[in-house]
Amino acid sequence: MTQIKEKIIRIGQMAKQASEDMRQLSSEDRSRILMNISQFIKANHFKILEANQKDIEDAKNKNLSSPLVNRLILDQKKIDALVATVENIAQMQDPLGQILDEWSQPNGLSFKKITVPLGVIGIIYESRPNVTVDAAALCLRSGNIPILRGGKECINSNTALYQCIQDALSDLGFNKNLVCFIDDVDREFVQELIRLDKYVDLIIPRGGLSLIQSISQNSTIPTLKHLNGICHTYWDNEYSEENAEKIIVNAKLRRPEICGATETLLVHEKIDSVSINNVLQSLMNQGCIIKGDKKIKNFFPSAIEATEEDWSTEYLDKILSVKMVKDIEEATKHINKYSSGHTESCLTNSSQTINYFFKHCDSAILLHNASTQFADGGEFGFGAEIGISTDKLHVRGPVGAQHLTTFKYLVTGNNQVRPK
């Protein structure tokens, strides 16, 4: 047995044992832990930023892409947001012990269906150091034990943030293994973790397409994932240029590197050429490359001609593919063909159009007259998210604390026996 495998097994054993301690904690205990984590992050913000700066410098020295570097960055504003997120999760309703259903049978048996934790969750992620805190907080709130394994590009940031979590647990006298962390960036740890089905109940990968595909194909543990975020915005006829520009620019450029950024704009053929030009020019003025079909290029010559590949590309950058469509039916067919099932938005004043969109578009999140960048657990009121699932089982869309649960049945009898 290799040293890596031995280490992973020890981590799995510690996490499984910590599950017993987690069961003893009340909702108030878990809230206290979260509030203490927020205090330790506040107190150590300079150390966190210093560690993050080291990651950023290393990334730039290795010539990593600008979108990847952007995902690494922590600043005081983001630290403050992390603190607020943890405190918000601490104050959320306990997702455990909730009665999902209750009934009785003619034989006198009474049934309750209640929420319980999933157990031990392996969380494998790249680039975003905030996931260390978000994932730990959501798992603590939902009574699960996370095993965190971040990418090598943010190891210093992740280690600094994890130390705050460890200090917060020790300060209150709780088991430090309520949150576990793999501090070695050797990829073999990932391969061993996803086969640790004796101790781990769920794997959640969060990162690039190749990482998620590899984990999904090789894991012996159930996996909750989204493969990529090919998101669309449809601009309907008679929807104002002013509102369209505001939403489309935000949907593409607020943070082009996130999975909720719009990658393809679908434009109704009856929208006038001046309005189309104005919106596309606004995007270009802010550094966005436009790739258009032949009809769009006729209206907007500055566009690069789009290829078939563009319709199924997640750019994660300041690039937007644009296609002209006949109506909402053609738009929806295009979305269902090329979308990754993540998030789509329909900009329309027509109730008939939005009803068609909501009924026929088969993605996890559908928005009406709003930016696709609202595809975020915090914006949904979930406190934060571990990721956005494009799976249909066991959860879909933003994954918050209440989604990191399963259920069990409590059956109460009065000395009944089942007849022969």
Could you count the other beta carbons within 10 Å of the beta carbon of residue 412?
11
Contact criterion met (CB below 8 Å) for 207 and 151: yes
pLDDT digits (tens, 9 = 90+) for 66-78: 888 988 999 999 9
pLDDT of residue 1: 65
pLDDT tens for residues 238-293?
Answer: 999 999 999 999 999 999 999 999 999 999 999 999 999 999 999 999 999 999 99
- In this prediction, residue 334 has a pLDDT band, given cuts at 50, 70 and 90, of very high
Smallest CA-to-CA distance from 96 within 3, 5, 23 is with 23
Q: Are residues 240 and 337 in the same domain?
A: yes
What is the CATH number for 211? 3.40.605.10
The verdict on whether omega for the bond into residue 394 sits within 30 degrees of 0, i.e. cis, is: yes
Q: Within 13 A of 289's CA, how many CA atoms are on the CB side?
A: 10
Same domain, 160 and 290: no
Do 146 and 85 lie in one domain? The reply is yes
Pairing of strands 231-235, 343-347: parallel
**147 contacts 180 by C-beta, under 8 angstroms:** yes
Q: Check residue 67 and give its pLDDT.
A: 82
Say if residue 209 is in the same domain as residue 177: yes
238 and 204 inside one domain: no
Residue 276 to residues 241, 248, 297: CA-CA distances in angstroms? 8, 11, 11
236 lies in the same domain as 213 = no
Q: 188, 222, 229, 223: which is closest to 208 by C-alpha? A: 229
DSSP string for residues in 347-381:
E-S-HHHHHHHHHH--SSEEEESS-GGG-STTTTT
Kindly report whether the global pTM for this prediction surpasses the value 0.85: yes
Q: Is residue 87 part of a domain?
A: yes
- pLDDT value at 148 more than 70: yes
Same domain (yes/no): 271, 189: no
Give helix then strand counts, H and E, for the chain. 14, 16
pLDDT band at 154 (very low <50, low <70, confident <90, very high): very high
Q: Pull the structure tokens for residue 84.
A: 């607020």
Domain count, the chain: 2
Residues 303 and 189 in one domain: no
Can you read off the two tokens belonging to residue 241? 């240029």
CATH number at residue 238: 3.40.309.10
Same domain, 185 and 247: no
Cα separation, 27 vs 97, whole angstroms: 10
pLDDT at 21: 97
Same domain assignment for residues 201 and 68: yes
